[in-house]
């Protein structure tokens, strides 16, 4: 297959556990750029967590789990969470004492200061911590929310939030997405804008929020360090991020 576009997850895919990009990955992506294949970041991260896009020189991204899609600096599609659904989420979180972080397209803010669950989960991303503004959700479009609760506490939200989707990414944190939100939806929007078909795409991932992504594209690649639930969805399981995983995956797809 003559693949035209490659989507890369960030954490555990381009980034290793130390939030560093292995040299073999940088070299492989630079080689791929010379072929004219489109390169796109597909991540749950916000667009202003830009260290990786700057390091790799990739200007297109499907961010916030598909809720905010940009191609070479131009917004392709965005899916803000309806304010009424945010109100329901906030009421439920306040009732159970769980802090929230509201992610817009430019900035993000929490409704709690120095909460240990927030500090541990967001701190693990090695990005600047959110500011404090409990009313930020009223002032800007919100595309994703970090909800800080454990697996055991999660069930109360599944019943209370029928119009929202929950995807866990940390023992203390969930992504709250617009209804139907996923990386796959954002990728379909971008493919449509570029007049490409899913069969012409390759994607790399390692987490639960990559499941729909790998199932959608023509060649889905799970990292060797991926969660076990993801691997059966993939067309190919490469080696781990620190063991030339991107290089070996690109070779398997016939791209390098």
CATH number of the domain located at residue range(s) 83-178 in this protein = 3.30.1240.10
C-alpha 229/C-alpha 32 separation (Å) is: 29
Share of the chain above pLDDT 70, in %: 99
Q: What is the pTM of this model?
A: 0.88
CATH number of the domain located at residue range(s) 5-78+181-252 in this protein = 3.40.50.1000
Confidence of residue 159 (pLDDT cuts 50, 70, 90): confident
Return the pLDDT at 181.
86
Return the pLDDT at 206.
95
Residues of the chain with CATH 3.40.50.1000: 5-78+181-252
Return the pLDDT at 27.
94
Q: Which residues pair with 110 in a beta bridge?
A: 101, 132
Structure tokens at 252: 């398997």
C-alpha 121/C-alpha 135 separation (Å) is: 22
Positions marked catalytic: 9
Confidence of residue 51 (pLDDT cuts 50, 70, 90): low
**How far, in Å, are 44, 121, 149 from residue 116 at the CA level?**
22, 9, 11
**For residue 76, pLDDT beyond 70:** yes
Return the minimum-mean-pLDDT range out of 22-31, 43-52, 147-156, 198-207: 43-52
pLDDT tens, 192-229?
999 999 999 999 999 988 999 999 999 999 999 999 99
**For residue 59, pLDDT beyond 70:** yes
Residues of the chain with CATH 3.30.1240.10: 83-178
C-alpha 157/C-alpha 159 separation (Å) is: 5
Confidence of residue 50 (pLDDT cuts 50, 70, 90): low
**Cβ-Cβ contacts under 8 Å for 236 (sequence gap 6 or more):** 219, 220, 221, 222, 249, 252, 253
CA dihedral sign of residues 178, 218, 41, 228: positive
C-alpha 106/C-alpha 182 separation (Å) is: 20
């Amino acid at each position: 297959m003559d693949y035209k576009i490659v989507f890369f997850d960030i954490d555990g895919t381009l980034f290793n556990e130390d939030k560093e990009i292995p040299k073999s990955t940088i070299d492989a992506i630079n080689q791929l750029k010379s072929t004219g294949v489109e390169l796109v970041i597909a991540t749950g991260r916000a667009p202003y967590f830009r260290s990786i896009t700057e390091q790799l020189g990739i200007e297109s991204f499907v961010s916030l789990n598909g809720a905010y899609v940009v191609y070479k600096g131009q917004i392709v599609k965005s899916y803000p969470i309806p304010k009424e659904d945010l109100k329901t989420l906030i009421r439920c979180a306040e009732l159970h004492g769980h802090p929230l972080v509201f992610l817009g397209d430019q900035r993000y803010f929490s409704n709690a200061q120095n909460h240990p669950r927030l500090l541990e989960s967001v701190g693990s991303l090695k990005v600047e911590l959110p500011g404090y503004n409990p009313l930020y959700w009223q002032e800007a479009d919100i595309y994703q929310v970090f909800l800080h609760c454990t697996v055991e506490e999660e069930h109360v939200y599944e019943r209370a939030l029928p119009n929202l989707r929950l995807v866990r990414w940390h023992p203390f944190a969930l992504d709250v997405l617009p209804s139907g939100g996923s990386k796959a939806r954002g990728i379909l929007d971008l493919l449509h804008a570029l007049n490409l078909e899913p069969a012409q795409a390759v994607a790399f991932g390692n987490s639960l929020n990559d499941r729909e992504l790998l199932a959608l594209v023509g060649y889905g690649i799970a990292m060797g360090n991926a969660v076990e639930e993801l691997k059966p969805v993939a067309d190919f399981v490469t080696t781990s991020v620190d063991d030339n995983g991107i290089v070996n995956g690109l070779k398997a797809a016939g791209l390098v």
